[in-house]
């Protein structure tokens, strides 16, 4: 590869295999904005780690059906399914987060059966557990905590690879669990619960303080039945209150631990690299360990030293000479050279600002990932396309 054609010449190498082989690393979190190939990268890293001797479970978030099929499964669900056992010690299991099922499991594990049944049947809970903002991110971290606890107690896995939820902003993954925990554990929702918890004189005292007017206004805004459902829900989960924020904080601490590694995924596009930059800076602020950046779908660098401008000029001359086939090839080359130049400039802007971030580039694949061999090809590209340090 020519140095002039490298997409991220200032960045140190991201040695993916070294990361996967490091037995002190127990969790790898793949993160980045939507549509950059997080799920495929997470699955490819998990497969490669398993075939290098690790016992791996990969937690994916709403993967395309073809990804489940690529791992030889008709579907993925909320329980780990064995994908393959290798000839060595390595194994690979895969699962897809079921947000509501994870929330239901949490309730059933932390409440008496009768109270759990009441909570599960509550309309507000049903809405909260299936569509409330931040619930998916919170439950992804809840499931990660469950997997880690199970791995520690049974030895079933020595590596968990997490594909973070798709969201408008990559930062939602870190923020949403605390936001939801604060909401469920906050003063506002406790006020809503007061009629369910207060009785006799205590309730009359609240009414005399104007609380009756407050709930009346909320009832008009939310609807009387919705407010009643919220109050019944909060009244039922008083034994769980205090746990949501605490568990979110525990998970946050787990993500800061030395045995966790973050891998940021991006493509050489402006928006994706901007999100990657935000995430790198946030990880640094929160003291979370960043292993490196994977730059997906990079234009082929295996092209001759002929820039786009020269190619187009040559194509125009050949058009005049009626050499249409060669002219067409030159125009294709010009498009590729132009794309590579644009990607290089965008990547250099990122690496100039984040010179310590190690980078591995993955070329654009000619076909979709449809089977384990396709995932192996992605994993091999991840390992083979790290960059050596160059530039200042």
Last residue of a domain, one of 241, 261, 283: 241
- Give the Cα separation of 43 and 55 in Å (integer): 14
- Among all chains, which residue has been given the structure tokens 């890293």? 45
> Exposed, middle or buried, 128 (CB in 10 Å: 0-12/13-18/19+)?
buried
Residues 103, 235 within the same domain = no
Residue 141 lies in a domain: yes
Residue 136 lies in a domain: yes
Residues 92, 148 within the same domain = yes
**For position 136, what pLDDT does the model report?**
77
Residue 271 lies in a domain: yes
Residues 260, 363 within the same domain = yes
- Rg of the chain's alpha carbons, rounded to an integer? 26
**For position 386, what pLDDT does the model report?**
53
Residue 191 lies in a domain: yes
> 75: phi > 0 → left, psi -120 to 50 → alpha, else beta; which?
beta
Residue 337 lies in a domain: no
Confidence of residue 337 (pLDDT cuts 50, 70, 90): low
Confidence of residue 214 (pLDDT cuts 50, 70, 90): very low
Lowest-pLDDT range, 54-68, 106-120, 220-234, 374-388?
220-234
Residues 110, 236 within the same domain = no
Residues 198, 251 within the same domain = no
pLDDT mean over 33-37: 85
Residues 127, 265 within the same domain = yes
In sequence order, what E strands does the chain have? 27-31, 55-60, 81-85, 91-96, 159-163, 260-266, 290-298, 359-363
Characterize the bridge pairing of strands 81-85 and 91-96. antiparallel
Q: What is the mean pLDDT of the chain?
A: 74
Residues 230, 257 within the same domain = no
What contacts 154, CB < 8 A, 6 or more positions away? none
Residue 391 lies in a domain: no
Higher pLDDT, 56 or 392: 56
Name the residue range of residue 198's domain. 186-241
Q: Are 176 and 138 in contact (CB under 8 A)?
A: yes
Residue 39 lies in a domain: yes
| CATH number of domain containing 96 | 3.40.50.300
pLDDT digits 0-9 by tens, 291-320: 999 988 886 654 445 454 554 555 455 454
Taking 70 as the threshold, does the pLDDT of residue 266 lie above it? yes
Residue 371 lies in a domain: yes
Residues 285, 210 within the same domain = no
Higher pLDDT, 285 or 168: 285
**For position 333, what pLDDT does the model report?**
52
Characterize the bridge pairing of strands 27-31 and 260-266. parallel
**For position 150, what pLDDT does the model report?**
93
What is the number of alpha carbons within 13 Å of residue 145 lying toward its C-beta? 21
**For position 335, what pLDDT does the model report?**
62
For residue 336, the Cα-to-chain-centroid distance in whole angstroms is: 30
Last residue of a domain, one of 241, 265, 281: 241
Q: Are 337 and 306 in contact (CB under 8 A)?
A: yes
pLDDT digits 0-9 by tens, 164-191: 876 655 566 677 666 666 666 555 555 5
> 72: phi > 0 → left, psi -120 to 50 → alpha, else beta; which?
left
> How many domains does the chain fold into?
2
Residues 81, 150 within the same domain = yes
Share of the chain above pLDDT 70, in %: 61
Residues 21, 95 within the same domain = yes
Q: Nearest Cα to 343, choosing from 362, 365, 367, 369? A: 362
Two tokens at 267?
Answer: 């493509």
Taking 70 as the threshold, does the pLDDT of residue 18 lie above it? yes
Taking 70 as the threshold, does the pLDDT of residue 55 lie above it? yes
pLDDT mean over 35-61: 92
Residues 19, 162 within the same domain = yes
Last residue of a domain, one of 221, 241, 261: 241
Residues 101, 59 within the same domain = yes
């Amino acid at each position: 590869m020519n140095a002039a054609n490298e997409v991220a010449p200032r960045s140190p190498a991201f040695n993916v295999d070294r990361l996967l082989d490091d037995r002190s690393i127990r969790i790898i979190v793949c993160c980045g904005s939507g549509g950059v190939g997080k799920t495929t990268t997470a699955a490819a890293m998990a497969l490669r780690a398993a075939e290098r001797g690790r016992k791996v479970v990969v937690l994916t978030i709403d993967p395309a059906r073809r990804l489940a099929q690529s791992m030889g499964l008709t579907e993925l669900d909320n329980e780990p399914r064995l994908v393959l056992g290798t000839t060595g010690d390595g194994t690979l299991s895969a699962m897809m987060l079921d947000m509501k099922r994870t929330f239901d499991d949490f309730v059933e594990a932390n409440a008496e059966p009768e109270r759990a049944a009441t909570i599960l049947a509550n309309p507000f809970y049903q809405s909260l557990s299936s569509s409330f903002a931040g619930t998916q991110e919170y439950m992804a971290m809840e499931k990660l905590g469950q997997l880690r606890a199970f791995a520690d107690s049974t030895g079933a896995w020595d590596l968990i690879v997490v594909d973070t939820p798709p969201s408008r902003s990559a930062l939602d993954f870190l923020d949403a669990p605390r936001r939801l925990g604060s909401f469920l554990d906050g003063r506002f929702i406790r006020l809503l619960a007061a009629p369910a918890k207060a009785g006799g004189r205590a309730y009359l005292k609240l009414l005399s303080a104007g609380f009756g007017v407050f709930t009346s206004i909320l009832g008009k805004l939310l609807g009387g039945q919705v407010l009643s459902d919220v109050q019944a829900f909060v009244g039922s989960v008083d034994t769980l209150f205090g746990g949501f924020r605490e568990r979110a904080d525990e998970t946050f601490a787990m993500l800061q631990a030395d045995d966790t590694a973050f891998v940021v995924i991006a493509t050489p596009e402006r928006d994706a690299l901007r999100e990657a930059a935000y995430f790198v800076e946030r990880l640094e602020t929160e003291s979370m360990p960043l292993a490196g950046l994977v730059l997906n779908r990079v234009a082929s660098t295996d092209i001759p030293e002929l820039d786009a401008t020269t190619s187009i000029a040559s194509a125009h001359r050949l058009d005049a000479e009626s050499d249409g086939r060669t002219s067409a090839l030159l125009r294709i080359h010009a498009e590729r050279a132009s794309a590579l130049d644009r990607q290089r400039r965008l990547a250099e802007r990122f690496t100039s600002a984040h010179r310590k971030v190690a980078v591995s580039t993955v070329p654009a694949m000619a076909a979709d990932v449809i089977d384990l061999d396709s995932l192996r090809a992605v994993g091999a590209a991840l390992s083979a396309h790290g960059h050596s340090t160059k530039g200042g």
